[in-house]
């Protein structure tokens, strides 16, 4: 959880609330600065503004306040961005693309102090009542996110820097492969510089983890096996050893420089420099990591939940509040999960009768799970077929978007297989945002390591969730909203974004998709999975369930494969609270929609409703409710 926590805090510093950033290189803050109070005539002479009435003057002052706040937000964003070179690379910017971020606690605390100063400046210099509705919302979001970052200092040491989901051991190569573009020799040289910089960068992360462990904050034993495997995989192949295979990073580097318009001699020289960096900096860094992880592994316990950590109960309560943006307690969330599971089981029994199955629900789970017709071949051809079919589903959905949406994403989307070096540890599926300058499409990653974990009956809902109308649509629209300040374009509110992702699985059902009853069963299975998360996440971290107890709960109450359940529970252990956001966010979007329908009757337009939800960028669920209520009131 440490990376999620530290990234969450870290991105709050950059314009407050960023997560996956995206902005065109060379962002011109000056274009957003205020015009001078005096205008200039065509002949270049200074022209004094005309006398204004009291009302006109007040309106001008209010407009001026709005413009000043916009300009100030952009300045804060740009200042923070310059201190985080990895995010600049993510944005397509080439400035400092030879450097890594500063992962030290000292740097983080400096950024927190800057945030305190920014928050005080905003409160002192901008009167909330003088701002228009849009800027008032930006003010509230900046204030909320800034305060969250300040409050989170208490939890900086919590969580786990090295874990199987987002640990630095895999994040470093993933960043170089997925984010660092090579369009020139200078970019290639910067890539090599980053390889050389891994030694110091990774060493700081290792020291951070050791400091956390010294405070009693340590991941459970199983995590170390994943981390060590990932780390060893990264330094396998040429030039690390004498095997016939080429290491993942060297293969990536050579593939990228192969597209440069340079001589073979220049290309060979760059490859040689990369090999030297891999051997003299990168490999020793990972060997040090492996040695330190082996030492820490010997001290790890098999206790899984964060209840075991110092002040673990308070930490988990904080995670739930942040992830759900509600005041729901762990017990309330647990009970909601049990209720939703019962409801979804009943809907599944209806489908079971529809297809003529006469056994119990658990027997139906086994029947569907073991049906060979629901599995792709465990081969390269089968994996290619999965990605081809998932792409086709998204393409078909894209042709129907006008029926339910006003604004559509401009960014492209591709389906990719999770890379071999991390597929055994990585989650089932996930999304990487597109670069707003068009240099990189959005990516729906499907983990095809174990093909039985990715059955056909679930792939339709999974494609809608990660792709269209799910995360790709929501995040791309957010990044493309021209009227929002940058910190809002790139913020993340988990209940909002994951709630939308889960809602995006249901919406196609209402549009006439899931014609095959087993595919609709798959949709329900995915929703059931998210409902079960409410139970097992709170079970693990509040009720002191064991890892095996939580795995058994999933295998008994869902049709998912055992390996799927193992990966999921291991994910929830290192990301406490995050899994609860999906169902809670979805239920809020649905309840607000149904309330709006009831109040508006024939005036209700699903396209307008979606515009209200997506048109603000991510907001807490309470603010989402305010926006929907305001929209409803405007139409009555």
- pLDDT attached to residue 329: 98
- pLDDT attached to residue 62: 58
Q: Are residue 281 and residue 425 in the same domain, yes or no? A: no
Q: Are residue 150 and residue 183 in the same domain, yes or no? A: no
* For residue 489, pLDDT beyond 60: yes
What confidence tier does 58 reach under pLDDT thresholds 50, 70, 90?
A: low
Whether residue 239 has a cis bond before it, omega within 30° of 0: yes
Contact 568, 213 (CB under 8 A): no
Read off the pLDDT of each residue in 53-66 and give the average, rounded to a whole number: 62
- pLDDT attached to residue 21: 30
- pLDDT attached to residue 60: 52
Q: Are residue 402 and residue 531 in the same domain, yes or no? A: yes
d(C-alpha 597, C-alpha 585), whole Å: 19
Q: Are residue 227 and residue 144 in the same domain, yes or no? A: no
Q: Are residue 223 and residue 331 in the same domain, yes or no? A: no
Question: Is residue 161 one of the residues assigned to a domain?
Answer: no
Contact 453, 447 (CB under 8 A): yes
User: pLDDT tens-digit profile of 527-560?
Assistant: 999 999 999 999 999 999 999 999 999 999 999 9
Burial level of 14, CB count in 10 A (0-12/13-18/19+)? buried
* For residue 15, pLDDT beyond 80: no
d(C-alpha 496, C-alpha 617), whole Å: 9
Q: Are residue 137 and residue 176 in the same domain, yes or no? A: no
User: pLDDT tens-digit profile of 577-617?
Assistant: 999 999 999 999 999 999 999 999 999 999 999 999 999 99
Residues forming a β-bridge with 416? 445
Q: Are residue 233 and residue 363 in the same domain, yes or no? A: no
Question: Is residue 625 one of the residues assigned to a domain?
Answer: no
d(C-alpha 277, C-alpha 620), whole Å: 45
d(C-alpha 521, C-alpha 358), whole Å: 16
User: pLDDT tens-digit profile of 193-231?
Assistant: 999 999 999 999 999 999 999 999 999 999 999 999 999
Instruction: State residue 33 phi and psi, 5-degree precision.
Output: -75, 160
Q: Are residue 211 and residue 348 in the same domain, yes or no? A: no
- pLDDT attached to residue 439: 83
User: pLDDT tens-digit profile of 411-461?
Assistant: 999 999 998 888 887 788 999 999 878 888 999 999 999 999 999 999 999
- pLDDT attached to residue 616: 93
Averaged confidence pLDDT in the chain: 90
d(C-alpha 131, C-alpha 258), whole Å: 53
Q: Are residue 150 and residue 177 in the same domain, yes or no? A: no
d(C-alpha 628, C-alpha 599), whole Å: 12
DSSP 97: T
Question: Is residue 457 one of the residues assigned to a domain?
Answer: yes
Number of domains in the chain: 3
Q: Coil, strand or helix: which one is 416? A: strand
Q: Are residue 360 and residue 509 in the same domain, yes or no? A: yes
Q: Coil, strand or helix: which one is 480? A: helix
CA-closest candidate to residue 343, choices 530, 619, 132, 554: 530
The DSSP annotation for 110-141 comes to: HHHHHHHHHHHHHHHH--GGGS-HHHHHHHHH
- pLDDT attached to residue 443: 95
DSSP run (H or E) holding 415: strand 413-417
């Amino acid at each position: 959880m440490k990376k999620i926590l530290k990234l969450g805090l870290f991105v709050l510093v950059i314009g407050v609330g960023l997560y996956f950033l995206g902005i065109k290189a060379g962002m011109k803050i000056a274009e957003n600065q205020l015009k001078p109070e005096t205008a200039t005539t065509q002949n270049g002479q200074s022209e004094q503004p005309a006398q204004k009435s009291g009302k006109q003057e007040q309106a001008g002052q209010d407009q001026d306040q709005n413009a000043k706040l916009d300009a100030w937000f952009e300045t804060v964003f740009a200042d923070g961005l310059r201190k985080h070179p990895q995010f600049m690379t993510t944005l397509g910017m080439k400035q400092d693309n030879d450097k890594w971020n500063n992962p030290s606690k000292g740097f983080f605390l400096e950024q927190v102090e800057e945030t305190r100063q920014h928050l005080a400046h905003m409160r002192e210099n901008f009167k909330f009542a003088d701002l228009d509705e849009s800027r008032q919302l930006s003010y509230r979001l900046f204030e909320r996110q800034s305060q969250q970052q300040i409050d989170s200092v208490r939890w900086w040491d919590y969580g786990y820097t090295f874990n199987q989901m987002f640990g630095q051991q895999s994040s470093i190569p993933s960043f170089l492969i997925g984010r660092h573009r090579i369009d020139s020799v200078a970019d290639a040289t910067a890539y090599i510089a980053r390889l050389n910089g891994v030694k110091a960068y990774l060493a700081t992360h290792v020291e951070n983890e050791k400091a956390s462990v010294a405070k009693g904050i340590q991941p459970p034993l199983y995590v170390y096996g994943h981390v060590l495997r990932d780390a060893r995989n990264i330094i396998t192949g040429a030039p690390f050893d004498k095997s016939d295979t080429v290491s993942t990073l060297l293969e990536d580097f050579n593939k990228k420089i192969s597209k440069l318009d340079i001589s073979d001699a220049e290309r060979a020289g760059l490859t040689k420099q990369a090999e030297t960096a891999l051997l003299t900096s990168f490999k020793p860094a990972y060997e040090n990591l492996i040695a330190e992880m082996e030492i820490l592994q010997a001290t790890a316990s098999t206790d899984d939940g964060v209840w075991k950590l110092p002040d673990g109960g308070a930490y988990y309560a904080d995670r739930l509040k942040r992830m759900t943006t509600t005041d729901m307690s762990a017990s309330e969330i647990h009970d909601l999960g049990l209720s939703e599971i019962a409801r979804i089981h009943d809907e599944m029994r209806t489908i079971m009768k529809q297809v003529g199955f006469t056994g119990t629900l658990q027997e139906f789970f086994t029947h569907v799970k073991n049906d060979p017709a629901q599995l792709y071949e465990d081969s390269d051809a089968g994996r290619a077929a999965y990605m081809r079919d998932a792409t086709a589903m998204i393409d078909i959905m894209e042709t129907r978007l006008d029926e339910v949406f006003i604004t559509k994403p401009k960014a492209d989307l591709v389906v990719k297989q999770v890379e071999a070096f991390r597929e055994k540890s990585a989650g089932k599926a996930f999304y990487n945002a597109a670069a707003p300058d068009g240099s990189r499409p959005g990516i729906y990653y499907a983990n095809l390591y174990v093909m039985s974990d990715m059955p056909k009956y679930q792939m339709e809902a999974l494609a809608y969730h990660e792709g269209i109308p799910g995360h790709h649509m929501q995040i791309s629209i957010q990044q493309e909203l021209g009227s929002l300040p940058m910190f809002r374009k790139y913020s993340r509110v988990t209940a909002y974004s994951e709630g939308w992702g889960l809602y995006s699985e249901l919406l196609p059902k209402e549009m006439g998709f899931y014609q095959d009853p087993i595919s609709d069963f798959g949709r329900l299975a995915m929703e059931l999975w998210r409902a079960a998360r409410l139970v097992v996440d709170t079970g693990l971290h509040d009720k002191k369930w064991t890892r095996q107890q939580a795995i058994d709960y999933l295998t008994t109450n869902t049709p998912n494969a055992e390996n799927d359940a193992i990966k999921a529970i291991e994910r929830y252990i290192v990301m406490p609270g995050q899994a609860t956001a999906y169902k809670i966010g979805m239920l809020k979007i649905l309840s607000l929609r149904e309330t709006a329908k009831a109040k508006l009757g024939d005036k209700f337009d699903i396209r307008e409703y979606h515009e209200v939800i997506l048109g603000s960028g991510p907001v807490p669920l309470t603010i989402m409710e305010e926006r929907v209520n305001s929209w409803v009131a405007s139409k009555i």
